[in-house]
Copies of this chain bind each other. A is one copy, B any other.
Amino acid sequence: MVARTDRETKILDVAADMLVRHGYRRVTIDDVAVAAGIGKGTVYLHWKTREQLFGAVFAREVHGAIGDLVTALRADPAVALLHRFAAEFFLAILRRPLLHGMVIGDVQMWGKLIGSEAGYDGGRHNAMMASYLGILAARGLVRTDLAVPELTYAFQAVYEGFIYAERTAAPTGTYEDRARLLSTTVESAFSRPGTADAALAEEVAALLSGLAA
């Protein structure tokens, strides 16, 4: 018998794959169990409800994307700069089929997963961004003529504008191109000249890791 954790991983893998292919509404617990080669009851040994299972899938994706960001941050501290951060985050989401699908596809299709507490807390995300921008402001790496709450609001609006544009705008070029455009836009809108050292990168990485608690 496989270890409990291996089975959990297998179920999440299968569920993620089916979610990408068929969407939230169409995937049943039994579908997942059959595809994972186990009984339906066994799924419930791992998660109490359907929503919690799919929430776990979503959370794993988000944590994976955050993990990619942290890796990028440690490989190159300059990613701690706001414009680099924006581009890396943008790509970290679009590179993952499930998250990409949630961004591009019909919001309706993902039902309770979006905006539900299960898996990921948007409020915490907001607080994290505010902390991050506070740190950058303290080091003079972003403009300081705007208060941190305004800066946070504006940055989020710009970032989400580019994410939203993926859904609506006619797709020109690759999304790496769009990530560069986002980076350029954020840089001139909010960044101030300066460099990021490993200590800053680590601080930001710690903030991000806190999101995955």
Residues of A within 8 A of B (CB): 143, 146, 149-150, 153-154, 156-162, 164-165, 168-169, 172, 178, 181-182, 184-186, 188-190
Contacts and interface: CB of A to CB of B under 8 A. Distances in A.
A100 B181 CA distance: 29
B156 A169 contact: yes
Contact of A158 (B150, B161, B169): B161
Contacts of A149: 172
The quantity of this chain's copies bound in the complex is 2
Contact of A153 (B157, B158, B169): B169
A154 B181 contact: yes
Given A156-B165, A160-B165, A188-B188, 16 more contacts: A143-B188, A146-B181, A146-B184, A149-B172, A153-B165, A153-B172, A156-B169, A157-B158, A157-B165, A157-B182, A158-B161, A158-B185, A159-B161, A160-B161, A185-B189, A186-B189
A186 to B, nearest CB: 8
Contacts of A143: 188
Contacts of A185: 154, 157-158, 189-190
A164 B157 contact: yes
25 contacts: A146-B181, A146-B184, A149-B172, A153-B178, A153-B181, A154-B184, A154-B185, A157-B158, A157-B161, A157-B162, A157-B164, A157-B165, A157-B169, A157-B182, A157-B185, A158-B158, A158-B161, A158-B185, A158-B189, A160-B161, A160-B164, A160-B168, A164-B164, A188-B188, A188-B190
